[in-house]
Chains A and B, each alone.
Chain A
């Protein structure tokens, strides 16, 4: 369970990054959320054999990391953590898709390998963008922005509560697991014990939920969820959103890598 504790601490670090003091941090969360959404949609919309056209898209996370003053190695580690999923998804492409698409000298590259590379790149881009977004906005900020954009309030509140109590819940869970381990003398967890642990955790969560609800009622909660209303969508936000969106759309329809490549090869004799 130590690893879960560790991962959690790491997650808190991501949240602390969001308290940074850079121009990117000060932008209205809505601008950042929308720009990231446009980014993800354009990246995902490419055909399955597209690789070169995806390269320019790295500009967005790189610029955001640089301007937002985020620690690069930390972000890369977080992305690497999620990459195995992409590898599993793309794993079988090279086996099933053996049609040679690119010929470099005597080496033929099959469509399978190209689509595999495309999947991996896309996941790095989208996961990276999402992590960077949380790093420069903070989870609560993202939730509020989503709510303002039109996500039902219930979901936003659910997400906020999830985020608040995930730490408490995992703490509780890891304490229980530690207590079990101390008396298990190296034995593995049996299914029966596991279900009992989870059951207890559920009941405790239930009781806590009741206490939280009481605490909310005690402070006049009537179903409305008020938060600080200090979001402002101004000129800077407009510029940020439309600047990036335009760039993404241009990059979607013009293959910049190829363009640069042909320029270079055109100039060279």
Chain B
């Protein structure tokens, strides 16, 4: 299904104050791929993500989701296709209860009541949060919030999942749990993260952004072995690939 393809061609974005956030970005992500976009702070990751859902419009260049170019007319359809999970779940959970929040998307898409109910149930089940449905969002823990935030997007059955820093602020257990959840998704996945170990485990492909440009695009292992490249882009190897500081063993 070509629905799952994300293609960015010569994307350039200049903010109104003159800051050049993206210089010239091109890549193509195909069906079922799991891709991490990494880079130092201010490399342009967030700006790039905001383009994939049409929140920012390119200064130059083009974005195609599936068969459609991203334009005003295709926007509603593309926003359903691309499920975006924000970094801070408090931004995403704005309804009085978890149930209402997960139902927000499907109701806006105009599904009938019974179908909405089924979708909410399925989505919450999938992230293991069925028991939370009547709780208000502020009563949830960080890990629960994150999983519910993912459910709010899953209930619209998107083809592509875009997540900004999915493991940010989670404790080790919640992080593990989230990772195994994400591993099971068959969607095309695009992450941004500083959690390079998570990237190594979940993503087969890595795109490095540096000062608004794509500095590298290739298999995760290959890129993480290139120490010179990583250092140039203010990154480093995932911890699991570094030598053990205690026993001195090589990674």
Q: Which A residues lie at the B interface, using CB under 8 A?
A: 12, 15-16, 19, 138-140, 160-161, 163-165, 167-168, 208, 211-212, 214-222, 224, 226-229
Contact = CB atoms under 8 A, between A and B. Distances in A.
Residue among A139, A160, A163, A217 with max Cβ neighbours from chain B (10 Å) = A217
B97 A219 contact: no
Contact of B94 (A19, A216, A224, A228): A216
A141 to B, nearest CB: 9
Contacts of B20: none
Interface string B80-123: 10111010101110111101100111011100010000000000
Interface stretch (B63-71, B136-144, B183-191): B136-144
A18 to B, nearest CB: 10
Contacts of B136: 15, 164
A240 B50 CA distance: 51
Interface residues of B, number: 35
Given A19-B134, A220-B109, A160 B152 contact: no
Contacts of B79: 217-220
A167 B105 contact: no
Contacts of A212: 91-92, 94
Contact of B90 (A15, A139, A168, A222): A168
A164 B94 contact: yes
Nearest to A167: B138
B61 interface: no
Contact of B108 (A165, A219, A229): A219
Contact of B137 (A160, A161, A164): A164
Contacts of B27: none
Contacts, number: 80
A205 B167 CA distance: 24
A218 B244 CA distance: 43
Contacts of A224: 108
B163 to A, nearest CB: 12
Contacts of A168: 90, 138
B55 A12 contact: no
B91 A218 contact: no
A19 B103 CA distance: 20
A104 B152 CA distance: 68
A227 B137 CA distance: 16
A5 B97 CA distance: 22
Given A167-B138, A212-B91, A140 B97 contact: yes
8 contacts: A161-B94, A208-B91, A216-B104, A218-B53, A218-B82, A220-B80, A227-B95, A227-B100
B83 to A, nearest CB: 8
A220 B108 contact: yes
Contacts of A226: 103-104, 107-108
A211 B94 contact: no
B111 to A, nearest CB: 10
Contacts of B196: none
Contact of B88 (A12, A211, A221): A211
B97 A215 contact: no
A219 B96 contact: no
A263 B103 CA distance: 59
B178 interface: no
B91 A211 contact: yes
A217 B55 contact: yes
B169 interface: no
B223 to A, nearest CB: 29
Contacts of A12: 138-139
A21 to B, nearest CB: 11
B207 interface: no
B218 interface: no
Nearest to A220: B108
